Structure 1
Amino acid sequence: MTATIKDVAKKAGVGLGTVSRVLNNHPSVSEETKKKVLDAIKELEYNPNAIARSLKIKTTNSIGVMIPDISSGFYPEIVRGIEDVANKYKYNIMLLNTDLKREKEKQALIMLKEKKADGILFISNTIDYKLKKEFQSINIPIVLIATKDDNDEFYSVTIDNENAAFQAANYLIELGHKNIAMLAGKKEDPNAGVPRINGYKKALIENNINVDEGNIFYGDYKFKSGYENMLKILKLKKKPTAIFAASDTMAVGAASCAMQMGYRIPDDFSIIGFDGIELSEYFYPPLTTIKQPRYEMGAKGMEKLLKIIRGDTVEKSTELEFQLIKRSSCKFRGD
């Protein structure tokens, strides 16, 4: 005869709710009680039906992870942090690539609602009014990672992008550079675009250096935009001596272009990137960068989401520390 959850509860001397909490790895159960229930499950060879259990307790133990592009060097470490915490608490991950397209994001949200996901982790893209409304309409807990909405209506895990960009540009100034170009993201991007541009400008202003809008080149954080914008820089009559790129991938694109055209890094141009992806370390010369704590972002985001699902009190916005990693793509300029 097949054992039931009632048999397990009776054997362990606990209530049905306690067995359910143990099966779903709820932290409120003591280790002693948990051991009694697990021993009873083992002895009775109880095999709970996942679908039946999810209907009973109204949870699927599944989390939707909406990501712009898993092939990008920035996102895998975030996803790894999410997965490690999810595995610890016996949650499954549904990974959805959205390609930064609103229609794909909308379809992903509809699918996650149909699949009865317990929560959603939304990574990187800008949160506009329409997306906010769609988030609110599905009535599923959501945590934003590496992005936040302008009014802090949603829970988030980020870094201080403006301060990080300030530190990057200020480092170049400390090395003696006064003509510094910026390879920026999208001009209207309130997430990584505007704050990083503002940080760059703030560093110039605080060091009494004129902000030249013609030294800001907009792109999409990818290699091609870094490469193509470097071609524009090389045509300038008065070329900058240093370049701050809003992503490592753009920085590598710019450096590759410069070297193909016969320039040397860092002798002709000092270059600093942003993100701290693996490529920045193994590129030659190794790239100075602002390192985002991507694994921690994923782990903290997942932990925050699980607390929300459990009904715990959680701080709305979490800002993690970044690091300025100094490597050989930047050098002191003595003149």
Structure 2
Amino acid sequence: MNKTIYDVAREAGVSMATVSRVLNGTAVVKDETKAKVQAAIEKLAYRPNAVARGLASKRTKTIGVILPDVSDLFHAEVLRGIEDIATMYQYHIILTNSDAREEREIDLIGTMWEKQVDGLIFISEQITKEIVKTFEQAQLPVVLCATEDPEGRIPSVSIDNESAAFDAAQFFLSKGISSIAFIGGPTSHRVTMERRSGYERALSAAGQPLQDTLILHAPDMKYEGGLDTVDRFLQAGHRAEAVVAASDELALSYLNAIRDRGGNAPDDVLLIGFDNTRLSKMVRPDLTTVAQPTYDLGAVSMRLLTKLLNDEPIDDYTVRLPHSIIERASTDRG
């Protein structure tokens, strides 16, 4: 049979309250008494019941993380940052994939509430009114990671996507390049539209006319959908001197579509990706990219959530982390 806190207390010759204090670290316990309790725990192979502890303390020490796709390199790196800080503060993670579908996201928020998580880190392509309403109904502390609530009601950690894409387009404009394409995900994707907005602002500021044929929208931010989109663009006879891609995978889809036609970067097109994932350094030519501090997005989100949970002072509920452009071979013509 599973051992209980009563068994540990009896074995150690102390009260159940003392065992609880040792387990939770909620009060000072004499070293000698603590050693007795720990010895009893080891002897009995006792494992605390998280649910029971949660009922007593109204905390389960678990955090829910809902993200679109854990297999995606960007999200995997963000998750590492979340998990490291969660471990530091002795929280466990319950991880779920939403496939970026609103109906599933709403379902998963309810599931997390049923599992009595202490708080939630939420990563999504779009924060809709229904999502916000579900957060309010669940009454869980929530931090948005790598995205923002359009109305600023929910704490968030992200970069300034509009400014980052502006800088990417400006990088090409400063070299005297005028034919610059943009490729992103669908128009319903908030991050895509923020990055498109920055691209358009840079061209307008430089007095360059916007060309609809140079703005591409793939079904998502992934390689496969991007490849189909670029293939159709090139088959129609369109060309660009340079490309600002809203993700590294979309940049690689453009690169390979050009290669399939006997071209290459940087000779036939200059490419800037987005996110600085591991892929950007694994391809040849290696990819110039807008780097957002991926690990830090997760780590800072988790730290912000711990502050919410522990009623710590918070200077800013909307955190913007810095971005930079890392120049590599895909934009270097020597």
State the TM bucket, normalised to the shorter chain: 0.7 to 0.9
TM-score when scaled to structure 1?
A: 0.88
Within 5 A, what are the aligned runs for 1:104-115? 104-115=104-115
Alpha-carbon deviation of 1:221? 0.9
1:258 is aligned to 2:258: yes
CA drift of 1:332 comes to 5.1
What's the RMSD between the two structures over aligned residues? 2.6
> CA separation in 2, counterparts of 1:240 and 1:102?
35
Tell whether 2:169 aligns with 1:169.
yes
Query: Match of 2:63?
Result: 63
The match for 1:2 among 3, 7, 16 is 7
Question: What is the TM-score normalised by the length of structure 2?
Answer: 0.88
Is contact 2:21-2:29 (8 Å) kept? no
Task: Between 194-203 and 44-53, report the one with greater CA deviation.
Answer: 44-53
Q: Is the 8 A contact 1:8 1:44 kept in 2?
A: no
Equivalent residue, structure 2, for 1:79 = 79
In the TM superposition, residue 43 of structure 1 has moved relative to its aligned partner by 5.3
Residue equivalent to 1:321: 322
3-state secondary structure, aligned to 2:319: strand
CA contact (8 A) 2:158 2:321 kept: yes
**Equivalent residue letter for 1:205:** S
- Report the counterpart of residue 125 of structure 1 in structure 2: 125
- The 1-side partners of 2:13 and 2:180 are apart by 68
Aligned twin of 2:192: 193
The number of equivalent residue pairs is 321
SS at match of 2:272: strand
CA distance in 1, matches of 2:281, 2:14: 54
- CA separation in 2, counterparts of 1:34 and 1:223? 56
| Amino acid in the other structure paired with 2:162 | E
CA displacement at 1:198 relative to structure 2: 1.0
Q: Which residue of 2 is the match for residue 284 of structure 1?
A: 284
Question: Which amino acid in structure 2 is aligned with residue 231 of structure 1?
Answer: D
Distance 1:135 1:151, change over 3 A: same
Quote how far apart the aligned CAs of 1:154 are: 0.3
Q: Quote how far apart the aligned CAs of 1:226 are.
A: 2.1
Secondary structure of 1:225's match? Answer: helix
Q: Which runs of 5+ in 2 are unaligned?
A: 1-5
Q: Secondary structure at the match of 1:60?
A: coil
Measured in 1, the distance between the counterparts of 2:117 and 2:97 equals 16
- In the alignment, structure 1 residue 42 sits paired with structure 2 residue 38: yes
Percent of residue pairs identical? 35
CA positional deviation for 1:296: 0.6
- How many Å apart are 1:53 and its aligned residue? 1.7
Question: How many angstroms does 1:10 deviate by?
Answer: 7.6
Gaps of 5+ in 1: none
Contact 2:9 2:15 in 1 (8 A): no
Q: Any idea what the Cα deviations from partners look like across 1:28-53, whole Å, max 9, x if unmatched?
A: x7xxx488485464355485443322
2: distance between equivalents of 1:302 and 1:44? 34
- CA contact 2:271–2:288 (8 Å) conserved in 1: yes
Q: Which moved further from structure 2: 220-229 or 248-257?
A: 220-229
Equivalent pair of 1:175/1:332 in contact (CA under 8 Å): no
Whole-angstrom distance in 1 between the partners of 2:21 and 2:157: 28
Looking at structure 1, the residues matched to 192 and 63 of structure 2 have their Cα atoms a distance apart, in angstroms, of 28
The aligned counterpart of 2:296 is 296
Q: Give SS of 1:69's match.
A: coil
